[in-house]
């Protein structure tokens, strides 16, 4: 299990995300006798973003960076030394009291600080300048986690900004990395089928979309309402970018098609959230879930399933269980956007989407967990 980063961290993220959602619903229903030092809502936001998504980001980076640089992966004792502070952060963050909050801060600082250091070290040592922006984003994610943990000590605005920074980083990573792997894996699949019409190559439109998205997210961090129109424009730009990758022909293979769906959520989210900030359509807090439950959930599961199959030497084909994972996470995302229809029954409005969404990760843990735990030779398929 400690052969390479995706094994422990994909499994950890897949177990923690549904567990943390169940705990969050228990807090909402006053089923637990205590509240974390940060407060229940801030705990939920941090647990999902920096705990669950953070673990999956770590698993992806610790697996992808050796491919980018040609250097050996972090494994064995060093990988365990990364996993332990992640676990400690989850435990201490759940407990009440300032002492537990401080220990959670130290644990997360150690984990994300080490992850950022390793990312910088490997990219620079491998002279992999193309991925320096990834190292910058990982460092900002580490900063966001630290600020988020300061809620009990410096108040909500500091922690809130940290969580917004973390969200912006993940949204940028999805546009950057998702914008690489989606057309690349689609191209490989089409070539194997003998199709000569391939996704568009990287060009000025890709650069413009990423620059526009980065500017939108920076403006959002400073003034969310001022970013309304940029979100709308960015959403359209993402969808236009996606339209150049021939996603429609990938429907026969869900393992490829789901990458297009995950990226599509960025465009859908930009349009829905931008409209919400202008006072149209969904409430802004609901519309934003197009990014979190939609883009974050779909793209992480798309990457986790594909990487697990490919790096354990299995065929890159989605079976029925894998396809059900994609259907569950999609249903969870759509139901979360429809939650205002059941606003009078908050437990139902939030609980049903959570059941589907967290169920996708639970099914992943059951189906792919044995693959992640089994010390099988790691290979790389594309």
Percent of the chain residues past pLDDT 90, beyond the cut = 85
Residue 245 predicted with pLDDT over 80: yes
Least confident interval from 156-165, 351-360, 373-382: 373-382
What is the C-alpha separation between 216 and 224, in angstroms, rounded? 9
Q: Are 288 and 273 in contact (CB under 8 A)?
A: yes
What is the per-residue pLDDT across 344-360, written as a single tens digit (0 to 9) for each? 776 677 788 989 999 99
Instruction: Determine the average pLDDT of the residues in 78-98.
Output: 95
Residue 40 predicted with pLDDT over 50: yes
Average model confidence (pLDDT) for the chain? 93
Grade residue 320 by pLDDT with cuts at 50, 70 and 90.
Answer: very high
The DSSP string of 308-350 is HHHHTT--S---HHHHHHHHHHHHHHHHHHTGGGGTT-HHHHH
Grade residue 380 by pLDDT with cuts at 50, 70 and 90.
Answer: very low
- Cα-based angle 357, 268, 244 (whole degrees, multiple of 5): 115
The DSSP string of 14-32 is HHHHHHHHHHHHHHHTT-S
For the segment(s) 6-373, the CATH number from 3.40.980.10, 3.60.9.10, 1.10.3720.10, 1.20.210.10 is 1.20.210.10
First-to-last C-alpha distance (Å) of the chain = 22
Global pTM reads 0.94
Grade residue 37 by pLDDT with cuts at 50, 70 and 90.
Answer: confident
């Amino acid at each position: 299990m400690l052969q390479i980063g995706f094994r422990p961290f994909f499994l950890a993220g897949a177990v923690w995300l549904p567990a943390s959602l169940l705990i969050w619903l228990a807090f909402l229903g006053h089923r637990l006798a205590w509240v974390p030092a940060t407060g229940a809502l801030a705990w939920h936001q941090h647990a999902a973003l920096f705990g669950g998504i953070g673990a999956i980001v770590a698993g992806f980076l610790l697996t992808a960076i050796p491919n980018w640089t040609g250097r050996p992966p972090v494994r064995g004792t060093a990988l365990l030394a990364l996993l332990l502070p992640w676990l400690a952060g989850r435990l201490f963050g759940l407990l009440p009291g300032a002492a537990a909050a401080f220990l959670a801060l130290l644990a997360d600082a150690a984990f994300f600080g080490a992850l950022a250091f390793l990312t910088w070290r490997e990219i620079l040592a491998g002279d992999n300048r193309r991925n320096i922006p990834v190292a910058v984003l990982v460092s900002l994610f580490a900063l966001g986690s630290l600020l988020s943990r300061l809620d009990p000590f410096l108040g909500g605005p500091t922690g809130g900004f940290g969580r917004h920074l973390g969200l912006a980083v993940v949204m940028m990573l999805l546009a950057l990395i998702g914008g690489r792997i989606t057309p690349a894996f689609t191209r490989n699949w089409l070539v194997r089928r003998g199709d000569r019409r391939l996704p568009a190559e990287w060009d000025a439109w890709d650069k413009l979309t990423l620059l526009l998205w980065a500017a939108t997210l920076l403006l959002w961090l400073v003034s969310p309402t001022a970013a309304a129109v940029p979100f709308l424009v960015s959403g359209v730009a993402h969808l236009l970018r996606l339209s150049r990758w021939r996603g429609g022909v990938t429907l026969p293979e869900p393992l490829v098609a789901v990458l297009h769906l995950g990226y599509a959520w960025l465009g859908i989210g930009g349009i829905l959230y931008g409209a919400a900030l202008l006072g149209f359509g969904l409430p802004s807090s609901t519309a934003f879930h197009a990014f979190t439950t939609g883009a974050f959930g779909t793209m992480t599961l798309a990457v986790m399933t594909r990487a697990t199959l490919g790096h354990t030497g299995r065929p890159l084909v989605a079976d029925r269980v894998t396809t059900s994972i994609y259907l569950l996470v999609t249903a969870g995302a759509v139901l979360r956007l429809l939650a205002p229809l059941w606003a009078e029954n908050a437990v139902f409005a939030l609980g049903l989407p959570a059941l589907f969404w967290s169920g996708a990760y639970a099914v992943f843990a059951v189906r792919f967990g044995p693959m992640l735990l089994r010390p099988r030779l790691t290979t790389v398929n594309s």
